[in-house]
Amino acid sequence: MPVTTRTVEYPADGLTMVGHLALPAGADRRPAVLIGPEGPGLNDFQRRRADALAELGYVALAFDINGGRWFSDPEEMLAYVMPLLADPDRMREIGHAALDVLRAEPRTDQDRIAAIGYGTGGAIALELGRDGVDLRAIGTINAVTTGRPGEAAHIRCPVWAAVGSEDPIMPPAQREAFTAEMQEAGVDWRLVVYGGAQHAFHHPTVDHTVLPGVAYHARHAERAWHDVVGLLDECLPVVSPA
Amino acid sequence: MPVTTRTVEYPADGLTMVGHLALPAGADRRPAVLIGPEGPGLNDFQRRRADALAELGYVALAFDINGGRWFSDPEEMLAYVMPLLADPDRMREIGHAALDVLRAEPRTDQDRIAAIGYGTGGAIALELGRDGVDLRAIGTINAVTTGRPGEAAHIRCPVWAAVGSEDPIMPPAQREAFTAEMQEAGVDWRLVVYGGAQHAFHHPTVDHTVLPGVAYHARHAERAWHDVVGLLDECLPVVSPA
């Protein structure tokens, strides 16, 4: 199924964000998905995820977290990302700005929106939920980040979280803190632990020499994508046009 | 797709076991699946799982662990099951006897067999793997049981394990011991934790008044079945006959 894509620029966090919007063929309204990128920024890999979801029938926006940059230097990346991850309000501003773009698209079914994210993008997806945004699903890969006390109770949709067992950035204590937060808040949650996978395991272009504990894992990467598609199919299935 | 079923009797563990074999339509060879029941024994619920897998194109055997009984009294059940769970050799005998029945079926593709199990049946599926049986996949629900030291290295197929976060019989320490065993052995493993689910969460007829910590969870039950079917589709897909 052919898809249409376009670059969208929008303001957030004092920057001009550069997102990638992908639309399925047709003119009808469709369920819509935000896709949040990992710490280094939005690259073609996540843009192609948006395209893949559009091929499955979703309106999909791969959003930007840093004004169109790609931090190839890990120190530069961490200097940008760590303060962002420590500031739920900034994460929410970035997430809401992307959500506004998605909602402004006429093809978007306003009642059926999900937020998926990887690393930093996953943390942003969770913050949208904690902010009470009416999402149909939240998927977070490599980001089992906790929020401000009590705010997880605002999450009203299923949360699917995934993490590599050998991810040093998301160790067992972090997983437990996250699942305890979800459980105490009464969230409908699931956690998948992919055995042997490290941080950013889903990303074929990560350079495992750049940072220790970061490596691609082909089998689990495929499984995680399959699981994400399954989450969307469960929570906001595409109904084919008549 | 119509399926054919038959009751199969076979000896194991000093008993006459009474299994339920389900065959897909047609006469060709198909990938095959063992389905192990929970501690009380084999009932119609697990027999229908075999039928459901046959409808998807698999040869499926819901096997027996106690000579055709169903322990409705929890004390009687535990008195039978606890010594069995403590004896890998008995579990393997029960598993091998079922495997022999499945392998004797002419429709079974001898090179594509998986073992799925729930509770005690899951522990038996894992023991077949630790015994070096050439399986294509192992799925264990509510049984993240550890084995004898070193034997997990004999597992050569993907292991998919699932457990409820609130399962008092499989608490976090048990999950960690299991995943550590899998990881140290180099197994290709995954663990799904279903948030809020208790023991036997997959089973609509469990009486949660019988034992504390046991309760049906409809959403996660459906997800776990979807995940099991996905595991089979990943590791031993049904190839439709020409």
CB–CB of A196 and B176 under 8 A?
no
Which residue in B has a C-alpha nearest to residue A222's C-alpha?
B234
Across the range A111-126, mean pLDDT stands at 98
In three-state secondary structure terms, B23 is: strand
**CB contact A165 to B (< 8 Å):** yes
In three-state secondary structure terms, B74 is: helix
Alpha helix (H) ranges present in A59-184? 74-85, 88-104, 120-130, 172-184
Contacts with A167 from chain B: Cβ below 8 Å: none
Across the range A11-36, mean pLDDT stands at 97
Across the range A3-28, mean pLDDT stands at 97
Q: How far apart are CA B123 and CA B116, in angstroms?
A: 10
Q: Is pLDDT above 60 for A241?
A: no
Contacts with A224 from chain B: Cβ below 8 Å: none
- The enclosing H or E element of A53 equals helix A44-55
What token pair was written down for A109?
């079914």
Cβ atoms of B134 and B154 closer than 8 Å: no
Q: How far is A193 from chain B (nearest CA, A)?
A: 5
Q: Is pLDDT above 70 for A232?
A: yes
Q: Domains of chain B: which residue ranges?
A: 4-235
CATH 3.40.50.1820 for the A4-235 domain, yes or no = yes
**CB contact B190 to A (< 8 Å):** yes
Name the amino acid, one letter, at B38. E
Contacts with A223 from chain B: Cβ below 8 Å: 190, 234
| pLDDT of amino acid B1 | 65
Q: How far apart are CA A43 and CA A207, in angstroms?
A: 14
| pLDDT of amino acid A1 | 65
Q: CB-CB: which of A183, A194, A234 is closest to B196?
A: A183
Any bridge partners for residue B35, and if so which? B62, B116
pLDDT in tens, B190-235: 999 999 999 989 888 775 556 788 889 999 999 999 999 999 999 9
| pLDDT of amino acid A204 | 84
C-alpha B120: how far from chain center = 8
Burial of A54 per CB tally in 10 Å (0-12, 13-18, 19+): buried
Mean pLDDT (chain A) is 95
Cβ atoms of A190 and B193 closer than 8 Å: yes
Q: How far apart are CA B164 and CA B166, in angstroms?
A: 5
Smallest CA-to-CA distance from B107 within B54, B49, B48 is with B54
Across the range A23-43, mean pLDDT stands at 96
Q: Is pLDDT above 90 for B39?
A: yes
